[in-house]
Structure 1
Amino acid sequence: MDFLSDSVVLSRMQFALTAIFHMLWPVLTTGMSIYLVVVEGMWLKTRNPDYYYHARFWSKLYVLNFGIGVASGLPMEFQFGTNWAPFSEAVGDFFGSILGFEASMAFMLEAGFLGIMLFGWGRVPPVIHYMGTIMVAFGANLSTFWILTANSWLQTPAGGEIVDGKFVVTDYFQAIFNPFMVNSVLHMFFATLETSLFVIGGISAWYILSRNERYQQFFARSFKIVLACAIAVAPLQIYIGHLSGEQVYHRQPTKMAAMEAQWETAPGGQPADWSLLAIPNTKAERNDWEISIPNGLGYILEFKQNLSEPVQGLKEWKPEDRPGMVGLIYYSFRIMVGIGFLLAGLMAVTVIQWLRGKLAPPQIGNQKWLLIGWMFAAPLGYIAIESGWIVRCVGRQPWTMYGEIRTVDAASNLPPQEILTSLLAFTGVYSLLLISALYFGSRIIRQGPNFDLPIPKESLAPTPVEHTPDRRPVEN
C-alpha cells in the first residue's frame, strides 16, 4: 500500500471522491429545472391543476438535490487552494476567474430566485413566479457552462502561454472558446437533461405500477412529457458524444489510445480494429485477452471524414507521458457509450408503444416490463456521467493542464498523513450525506404529490385600500 505515503496519489483520490460525489446532485438540478419550466408553463397555458401539482411535487426533489450539491461542492473547490496550490498559482488568472464567474453569476442567480420558485406560490403573480423558475433553470445551466468551460480549457489550453511558470492570458475569449468548449458544454447539457428525464420517467413508472387510478392518470402525464423530450435528447446525446470522440482523436491521441486500449499504431489509410472487450495489461503493454471488430475503429472515426492520419498506439509515448490506468479508462468509456445506446433503445421501444396507443391511462399500467425497464434505467444516467468524467479526467493524465502542467507538479507538498485524515473525514461526511439524501428522497417519493394544495389565483393584484376622510381639526 505504497500509495498511502504518496501525497500526490492521496490528493488525487480525495479530489476524485469529492468530484464523483458532488457530480450526483447538480446533474438532477440542471436537468430537472428545465422540466419544471415545462410543466409550470403548461399550467399557465392550460390551467390544468395536474401541471401545477407536478411543479410542486418535483420541486421538492429539486431542492433536496440543490442542498446536497451546495454542501458537497464547496469543499471540492477549496481543494484548489489546499491540495493543489501550485496549480492554482500557475493558472489562477484564468481558471480562478472562471470559477468565480460560476459562483457569482450562475450559483447566485440560481440561489437568488430559488426562494421565489419554492415559496412564491400564492405570494407573487403566477407570471412572476414562472419568471423565477426560468431564472433558476438558467442559473443552473449557466453553472454547467462555466464549469465545462474551465475543464475544457484544461483539456485544450488556449488564449495564452506559460511564462515563468504562470499562465499569462493574451486572448480571454479565445481561452473561453477553447477547442473543446462547445462540444463539452453540449455533451454535459444533454447528459444532465437525459439523466433527469429518465429519473423522472423511472419514478413516474413506479407510481403507475402502484395501480392507484389517480396516480396512473397523474404520472402518465409526466411519463409522456419526458418521453417526448427524450425522443430528441437521446439521439442528440449520442451524436454529440461522437463529435467529442473525434476531437479526442485529433487533440488528445494518448487518451484515444487508452479509451481503445490500443497499444500499436495503425498506419494512416489503414482502418484500425475496434476493441469490443479486452483485458488491458499496462505493465506488459498489451491486451491479455481481446474481442475486436476488424476495421471497426476506422469506420467509427471515418463517420465524417477520410482517416488519412494514423491511429496512434500507446507505445508511441514513453510510459510517463501516457495515462496509467488504461483498464479504468477503457471500461469507463464502454459503460458510458453502452448506457447511451441502451437509453436510446428504451426510448425507441416506448415510442412504439405510445404510437400503438398503449400509454393511455387505462392501458399504461399493463405495460409492466416496459415500466420496470424505466425504473431500472433511472440510475443509469448517473453511472454514464460518472464514467464519462473518469474518461475525461483520468484520460488526461499525466497532465493537469494538458501538455503544460504535470499533475505531480500541480499538487501541494503536504504530509500524506494529513491528506489521509481529510480523505477519511470526507468519506465519512459524504456517506452520511448520501444516506440522508436517500432517506429524505425516498420519503418525498413515498408521500407522493399533495393534491390538497390551494391553486394560486389568476392575479394577485393588491386589494385597494379605502381611505377615510382626515377628521383632524383644521388649524387657523
Structure 2
Amino acid sequence: MFGIAAIDLARVQFAFTISFHIIFPAITIGLASYLAVLEGLWLKTQRDTYRHLYHFWSKIFAVNFAMGVVSGIVMAYQFGTHWSGFSAFAGSVTGPLLTYEVLTAFFLEAGFLGVMLFGWERVGRGLHFFATCMVALGTLVSMFWILSSNSWMQTPQGHDIVNGVVIPVDWMKIVFNPSFPFRLAHMALAAFLSTALFVAASAAWLLLRGKHSPEVRTMLSMALIMLAITAPLQAVVGDLHGLNTLEHQPAKIAAIEGHWDNSSGEPTPLILFGLPDMNREETRFKVEIPVLGSLLLKHSLTEQIPALKEFAPEDRPNSTIVFWSFRLMVGLGVLMILLAILGNTLRIKGRLYTSRRFLMFTLGMGPAGLVALLAGWFTTEVGRQPWVVYGLLRTADAASAHNAVHLSISLAAFVVVYLAVFGTGVIYMMRLVNNGPSDSPSHTSGGPGHQHTPARPLSAVNDTLTTHY
C-alpha cells in the first residue's frame, strides 16, 4: 500500500483501532463517576434537577459503553493476529493482567450495569445508588489493569527471561512497575477532563440555543468546577510523569524535546517550536528559551538532559511525531486551565450563562480533552519505539508474518467498518445531546410484556429523537 512496509501497516492499523477505542472508555470512566455524583446529590438534596440529569446522561453513557465494549474486543484479537511475536514473548505477563481485568472490572460492571440502567423503579434507592457506584468503580478498576499492563511494557520489571520468553517472578513489581502510578493518575485525570469538557460543551450548545433550564445550567456549573480542579492537577501530574520518563526512558524525552546534541556543554534550552529532522539529526527553524529545558526537567540551571545523538540511530524514537504530539497535548491543557479560570470568573460576575463569547469558546473546547488524550497516547507509544517491551523486545520482532497486501486490505476494511458503525453511534449520541435533558423524564416499568424490556445496554435509550433548530 503506497510502498509502506508490512510492519508499518500493522502499526497503523493498531493505532487506528486503539485510537477509536480509547475515546469511548475515557468518556465511560468520566460519565460513570459523574452519574454516581449526580445520584448521590439527588439522594442528599432531593432536587429533581440532579435526577433529570442522571436519566439524561445515563442514556448517553449506555450508548458510549456499548461502543467501548465492541471496539475493545477487536484490539484483543489483534494481539494474536498482528503481534504474535509479542504474545509469545510477553503473554505470560500481559495475559494474566488482562484476565484480572475481566475477573474484576468486567464482571463488576456486568453485574451491576443492568440494575443501574433499568432498576430505577425496581429496586430501592440505596441499592440503585450502590449499583451506580459499582459500575463507576468497575470502570476505574478496568483502567487500573490496562494501565498496569501498558506501563509494564514501558518500564518492565519483576520478571526473568528464559529461552527467549518472559517468566513472571514478582507480580507486585510487575503490577506496580515504576511508571504505573504516574500513568494511572495521568489517564484518570485525562478521562475526567475529557468528560467535563464534553458535558460543558453540551451545556454551552443548549444555552446558545436558548435552553436556560436549571438542568442545563447545572451541567455547565458542575463541569467548570471539575475543570478547575483537574486541569491544574493534570499539569502537576504531567510534570511528575515527565520526570519519571526522563529516568526510565531518556530517549523518549530527548525526542519529545527535539534535543540532539550536548557537545556545547551549555544547559539545555526549551525548544518551543521547530521541525525535528531525523535524517539531518537536528531540529530546524527552532524557537527556544535558553536554560529552561534543564530547569524544567532537571530542576537545575546547569545540568543537561540526554540528547538524541547519545543513542544509536536504530534506538531513537521518531522525534518529528512526538515533538508535535506532546506540544498539542500541552497547548490544549493550557487552554483547559484558561477555560476554567474564565468560567469561574464569569460565575463570580454573574455572567456565566449569558456570555455568548465564553459559551462559544466552551463549545469549541468540547473535543479538546479527547484530542489531548490521543496526542498523549501517541507521544507515549511512538516515543517507546523501536521497542514494544522497552529494552527487551523490538517492534520488528513482535510483528506477525503478514504481507503488505493482506494488511492493506484489512486496514481499508477497518476504516470503512469503523467509520460506518462507530460514526453512526457517535451521531446518535450527539442527537441525544442535542435534545437536552428533560425536566420530566418518562419511565417505563419494563419487565415481561412491556415495551422496552431490558435486554442490552442500548435498550436503556428509549426516547424518540427529535431534531431542533
Give the Cα separation in 1 of the matches to 2:358 and 2:28: 26
Aligned equivalent of 1:8: 7
Aligned-pair CA distance for 1:342:
0.8
Aligned equivalent of 1:471: none
Asked whether the equivalents of residues 264 and 313 of structure 1 are also in contact (C-alpha less than 8 Å), the reply is yes
- Tell me the secondary structure at the aligned position of residue 413 of structure 1: coil
Aligned equivalent of 1:293: 289
Aligned equivalent of 2:421: 433
Aligned equivalent of 1:282: 278
Written as runs of structure 1 = structure 2, the 5 A alignment for 1:391-470 is 391-453=379-441
Written as runs of structure 1 = structure 2, the 5 A alignment for 1:186-205 is 186-205=185-204
1:321 aligns with 2:320: no
Q: Which runs of 5+ in 2 are unaligned?
A: 446-469
Which string of whole-angstrom CA distances, capped at 9 and with x for unpartnered residues, describes residues 257-314 of structure 1? 110111112788x521010000111111112211111111112124xx4477531111
Asked whether the equivalents of residues 267 and 311 of structure 1 are also in contact (C-alpha less than 8 Å), the reply is no
Asked whether the equivalents of residues 266 and 311 of structure 1 are also in contact (C-alpha less than 8 Å), the reply is no
Asked whether the equivalents of residues 102 and 143 of structure 1 are also in contact (C-alpha less than 8 Å), the reply is yes
- Tell me the secondary structure at the aligned position of residue 276 of structure 2: strand
Asked whether the equivalents of residues 301 and 307 of structure 1 are also in contact (C-alpha less than 8 Å), the reply is no
Asked whether the equivalents of residues 160 and 169 of structure 1 are also in contact (C-alpha less than 8 Å), the reply is yes
Which string of whole-angstrom CA distances, capped at 9 and with x for unpartnered residues, describes residues 392-412 of structure 1? 000000000000000000111
Give the Cα separation in 1 of the matches to 2:301 and 2:127: 54
Aligned equivalent of 1:375: 363
- Tell me the secondary structure at the aligned position of residue 30 of structure 2: helix
1:353 aligns with 2:346: yes
Aligned equivalent of 2:335: 342
Give the Cα separation in 2 of the matches to 1:191 and 1:266: 38
Aligned equivalent of 2:106: 107
Asked whether the equivalents of residues 159 and 168 of structure 2 are also in contact (C-alpha less than 8 Å), the reply is yes
Aligned equivalent of 1:119: 118
Report how many aligned residue pairs link the two structures.
Answer: 445
Give the Cα separation in 2 of the matches to 1:249 and 1:266: 19
Q: Aligned match of 1:310 in 274, 291, 304?
A: 304
Give the Cα separation in 2 of the matches to 1:267 and 1:18: 43
Task: Evaluate the alpha carbon distance shift between residue 404 and residue 419 of structure 1 in structure 2; reply closer, same or farther with a 3 A threshold.
Answer: same
Aligned equivalent of 1:253: 250
Q: Aligned match of 1:332 in 310, 313, 325?
A: 325
Aligned equivalent of 1:74: 73
Q: Aligned match of 1:242 in 230, 239, 244?
A: 239
Aligned-pair CA distance for 1:78:
0.8
Give the Cα separation in 2 of the matches to 1:404 and 1:308: 33
Aligned-pair CA distance for 1:196:
0.3
Give the Cα separation in 2 of the matches to 1:443 and 1:108: 30
Q: Given residue 296 of structure 2, which amino acid in structure 1 is its aligned partner?
A: I
Give the Cα separation in 2 of the matches to 1:77 and 1:267: 47
Asked whether the equivalents of residues 248 and 255 of structure 1 are also in contact (C-alpha less than 8 Å), the reply is yes
Asked whether the equivalents of residues 294 and 303 of structure 2 are also in contact (C-alpha less than 8 Å), the reply is no
1:222 aligns with 2:216: no
Aligned equivalent of 1:472: none
Aligned equivalent of 1:46: 45
Give the Cα separation in 2 of the matches to 1:454 and 1:347: 34
Give the Cα separation in 1 of the matches to 2:426 and 2:295: 43
Give the Cα separation in 1 of the matches to 2:434 and 2:348: 31
- Tell me the secondary structure at the aligned position of residue 346 of structure 2: helix
Q: CA RMSD in A?
A: 1.8
- Tell me the secondary structure at the aligned position of residue 14 of structure 1: helix
- Tell me the secondary structure at the aligned position of residue 122 of structure 2: coil
Q: Given residue 295 of structure 1, which amino acid in structure 2 is its aligned partner?
A: V
The higher radius of gyration belongs to 1
Give the Cα separation in 1 of the matches to 2:165 and 2:371: 36
Aligned-pair CA distance for 1:454:
5.4
Which string of whole-angstrom CA distances, capped at 9 and with x for unpartnered residues, describes residues 198-243 of structure 1? 1101101111222234x3x221112111222222111110100010
- Tell me the secondary structure at the aligned position of residue 178 of structure 1: coil
Aligned-pair CA distance for 1:152:
0.5
Give the Cα separation in 1 of the matches to 2:12 and 2:25: 21
Aligned equivalent of 1:83: 82
Q: Which runs of 5+ in 1 are unaligned?
A: 458-476
Aligned-pair CA distance for 1:387:
0.4
- Tell me the secondary structure at the aligned position of residue 156 of structure 2: coil
Task: Evaluate the alpha carbon distance shift between residue 330 and residue 444 of structure 1 in structure 2; reply closer, same or farther with a 3 A threshold.
Answer: same
Give the Cα separation in 1 of the matches to 2:192 and 2:119: 25
Give the Cα separation in 2 of the matches to 1:12 and 1:286: 26
1:149 aligns with 2:145: no
Task: Evaluate the alpha carbon distance shift between residue 222 and residue 72 of structure 1 in structure 2; reply closer, same or farther with a 3 A threshold.
Answer: same
Give the Cα separation in 1 of the matches to 2:443 and 2:344: 33
Asked whether the equivalents of residues 159 and 169 of structure 2 are also in contact (C-alpha less than 8 Å), the reply is yes
Q: Given residue 313 of structure 1, which amino acid in structure 2 is its aligned partner?
A: A
Task: Evaluate the alpha carbon distance shift between residue 33 and residue 254 of structure 1 in structure 2; reply closer, same or farther with a 3 A threshold.
Answer: same
Give the Cα separation in 2 of the matches to 1:115 and 1:104: 18
- Tell me the secondary structure at the aligned position of residue 44 of structure 2: helix
Aligned equivalent of 2:229: 232
Give the Cα separation in 1 of the matches to 2:8 and 2:443: 55
Aligned-pair CA distance for 1:347:
0.2
Aligned-pair CA distance for 1:107:
2.1
